[in-house]
Each structure stands twice: as C-alpha cells, then as structure tokens.
C-alpha cells in the first residue's frame, strides 16, 4: 500500500502541487499555516505530521480532534490550509468540523482520504487519495501508514513552494521514500517476535505506551489499537510526562511499551526507561538497529530496521499495530469486528 502511494509521488517527478489536484498550485502557494482536523487513528497521523510541517515547511500547525473543534470559537485565518484526514471519508465529526471551518471563512481545504468520492473529499477543494486499498477490519491500520506518507508528501510540497526545500533535500527525501517499503517489510518480518510478546500481554488488564517527539503519536496509535481490538486498557504518554503522575501506576502488572529509535531524544528515553525499571515495571522496547539497548529480565527489546530518519514514525507504526493484533488473537477477540465500533462513525 505504501509503495503505491510513493510511486505516485515519484511518477509526478517529486513533491509537486499537482499531487493534490488541478487547483492545488493556487490553493497551496500562499499558505501561512495548517489546521488539521481528524478523529482516532487519523488524528494521530495529524499529530505526527505537525512535527514535520513545523520543522520542514516552517509553518505553524495545529491539530484538533474533529469532534471538539466545532465547540470552540476558533479564530480562523483564511490563509491557513484546513486538512481533514479520514480513512472512510464519512466520519460525521470530521465532516462537521470541516463544515464549521468553512463557515469561519476557511476556503483552502484538503481532504486526505482512502475512499474515493466519499462525503469529506466531495466537500473539499483539494483531495489526496491514499492508496491503502480497502481496510478489511473496522480499526484503521494500513490507512494510517499511507496517511503518514501523504502528510509527509504534503509537508515536502509546502516546503518546496516556500523555497525551503533544496534540490539536495528533495532528492534525499525521495530516496528515503523509495527505501521505505523495504524498511516496512523488515518491520513486518518482526511478526514472530511480536507474537512472543503478545502472549505476555494477553492476560494483562492495562498497558502503558511511551514515546517522545515524533514517536509520541505512534505510542498513542499503539495504545488505541490495543484498546480497540483486544480490549486491554492502554494509555500513551510522552515519556517525559511519566514523572508527572503516571509513574504511580507502574508495577510488575503494568507492561510498558517504549518506542525508542535512535533519534536526538534517545538518551532522554533511556533515562525514562530507568525510572520504570526502578519501579519494577516490565518493559517492551522497540529500538532500531542503531540504538544500543541492553536486554535484561525486565527489559525486552525488539530491533526494528536501521534508523530511517524523518520517516521513522511510519516504520514504528507497524510493530505497535502488530502487537495489538496478536494480543487480540491471543485473547480470542474478533480483530476485524471489535465490539461497539463501526467502520464509519456516522453518528
């Protein structure tokens, strides 16, 4: 699915507005900020993109849960691009948020969606269809990774339009995208090890997920997937927030999943791991091949692929989703049709 999305970028010859529709040059050229609106997993894709949009495109970006946005007296800047993200394109809260944004005077609207001609893209000026194929299960999984590729593409396109993307940087990002399917395949190949972990999760009632920086939203995605399909109560925290409360929950019965690739925050994450360890917590660490981690009785490590830089959250989404999937299988829940959830939340 990711390879198809990337191929489209490469076919267009790089990060050009044409990827977002015929009107895109006009709409995107003078964008001064980005407002992202989405629910659930799509919201976490937006939170991930915020790190990219601020750092690479140099634009202010806010991300809001769509079901809340319309209850605020939001101050609209019509030069801000409103990006809705929705796998189904029919989520009512996201649609209502889009309508509210338009009523405030927002005219620059982009829908990132997986279902052609669904309601949200029809109501948007620009559309980017992710090529994830049909999501079989109710919980959004492969749509998430393709949403992230789409959002990275948007970021690089905005950066280029703003003169912030050198030819060299563009080449590097395209290379990174080309290599992404291989890294994702490597992450998928970790499945047997993840099955081993999932058996330890299955009897648990609760779990914590920790990440820092751009990997914090991936921790949130891991926690949501675990809740949605295995019904294990899970919460995600930025690792630095642990000492401000959640550490009180840590004991031998609370598995702690940590996303710890070799980025500039790794040393801080390692010290958070020590905090958990000192409280007798059992840790399950996803660490890429470049980050040094010693295993112990309390610290289990799965090595994700070599660090892929800015695209690292895309690679780390795979193992946390697989962990939820196998924990659900081990508990005997219906992974495709979780209780109380609908494929498109239209109420």
Which residues are known catalytic residues?
343
Cα 305 to chain centroid distance, Å, stands at: 18
- Give the contact letters, 179-218, x = binds to ligand F1P (CB under 6 A), - = no: ----------------------------------------
| 136 forms part of the interface with ligand F1P (CB under 6 A) | no
Which residues make beta-bridge pairs with 63? 36
SS3 167: helix
Q: Does residue 39 belong to the site contacting ligand F1P (CB under 6 A)?
A: yes
Please say which residue, 138 or 301, places its beta carbon nearer to ligand F1P: 138
Q: How many CB atoms lie within 10 A of CB 190?
A: 19
β-partners of residue 322 are none
Return the number of other C-beta atoms located less than 10 Å from residue 327's C-beta.
30
Helix, strand, or coil (residue 300): strand
Least distance from ligand F1P to the Cβ atom of residue 228, Å:
6
Q: Which residues inside 102-131 make contact with ligand F1P, applying CB under 6 A? A: none
321 binds ligand F1P (CB under 6 A): no
Interface residue with ligand F1P among 19, 27, 138, 265 (CB under 6 A) is 138
User: By rule CB under 6 A, what string of x and - marks binding of each residue 49-88 to ligand F1P?
Assistant: -------------------------------------xxx
129 sits in the region (left: phi over 0; alpha: psi -120 to 50; else beta) called beta
**How many chain residues interact with ligand F1P (CB under 6 A)?**
16
Listed ranges 33-41, 104-112, 192-200, 270-278: which one lies at the site for ligand F1P (CB under 6 A): 33-41
Among the listed ranges 26-34, 125-133, 136-144, 255-263, the one in contact with ligand F1P (CB under 6 A) is 136-144
**Residue least distant from ligand F1P (Cβ):** 40
Does 94 engage in binding with ligand F1P (CB under 6 A)? Answer: yes
Task: Please name the helix (run of DSSP H) or strand (run of DSSP E) that holds residue 112, with its range, or none.
Answer: strand 109-113
What is the C-alpha separation between 191 and 197, in angstroms, rounded? 10
The reply on whether position 42 binds ligand F1P by CB under 6 A is yes
**Token pair of 337 as six digits:** 């049709």
The mark string for 139-178 relative to ligand F1P (x by CB under 6 A, - otherwise) is xx--------------------------------------
DSSP 297: S
How far lies 282's CA from each of 118, 266, 272, in Å? 44, 19, 13
The arrangement of strands across the sheet holding 256-259 comes to: 233-238, 206-211, 256-259, 283-288, 299-304
Calculate ∠ Cα 267-188-276, nearest 5°: 30
Contact 33, 79 (CB under 8 A): yes
Helix (H, G, I), strand (E, B) or coil at 328: helix
Give me the 238-277 binding string for ligand F1P, x by CB under 6 A, dash otherwise.
----------------------------------------
Q: What is the largest CA-CA distance in the chain?
A: 58
Q: Which stretch binds ligand F1P (CB under 6 A): 49-57, 302-310, 317-325, 339-347?
A: 339-347
Q: Which residues bind ligand F1P (CB under 6 A)?
A: 39-42, 86-88, 91, 94, 138-140, 228, 341, 344-345
């Amino acid at each position: 699915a990711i390879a198809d999305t990337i191929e489209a970028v490469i076919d267009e010859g790089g990060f050009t507005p044409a990827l977002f529709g015929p009107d895109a040059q006009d709409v995107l050229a003078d964008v001064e900020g980005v407002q992202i609106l989405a629910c659930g997993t799509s919201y976490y894709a937006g939170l991930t993109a915020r790190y990219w949009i601020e750092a690479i495109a140099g634009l202010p970006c806010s991300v809001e849960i769509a079901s809340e946005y319309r209850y605020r007296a939001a101050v609209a800047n019509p030069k801000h691009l409103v990006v809705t993200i929705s796998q189904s394109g029919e989520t009512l809260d996201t649609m209502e948020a889009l309508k509210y944004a338009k009523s405030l005077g927002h005219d620059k609207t982009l829908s990132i969606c997986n279902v052609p001609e669904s309601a949200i893209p029809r109501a948007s000026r620009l559309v980017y269809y992710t090529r994830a194929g049909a999501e079989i299960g109710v919980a959004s999984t492969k749509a998430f990774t393709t949403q992230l590729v789409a959002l990275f593409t948007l970021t690089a396109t905005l950066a280029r339009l703003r003169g912030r993307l050198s030819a060299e940087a563009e080449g590097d990002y395209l290379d990174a995208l080309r290599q992404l399917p291989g890294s994702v395949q490597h992450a998928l190949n970790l499945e047997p090890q993840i099955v081993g972990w999932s058996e330890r999760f299955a009897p648990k009632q609760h779990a914590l997920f920790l990440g820092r920086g751009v990997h914090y939203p991936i921790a949130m995605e891991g926690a949501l997937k675990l809740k949605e399909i295995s019904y294990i109560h899970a919460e995600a925290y930025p690792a630095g927030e642990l000492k401000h409360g959640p550490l009180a929950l840590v004991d031998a019965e609370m598995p702690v999943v940590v996303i710890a690739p070799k980025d500039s925050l790794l040393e801080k994450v390692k010290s958070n791991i020590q905090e958990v360890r000192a409280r007798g917590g059992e840790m399950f660490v996803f660490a890429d091949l470049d980050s040094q981690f010693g295993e112990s009785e309390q610290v289990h490590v799965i090595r994700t692929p070599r660090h892929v830089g800015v695209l690292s959250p895309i690679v780390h989404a795979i193992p946390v989703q697989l962990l939820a999937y196998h924990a659900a299988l081990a508990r005997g829940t219906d992974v495709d049709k979780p209780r109380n959830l609908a494929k498109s939340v239209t109420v």
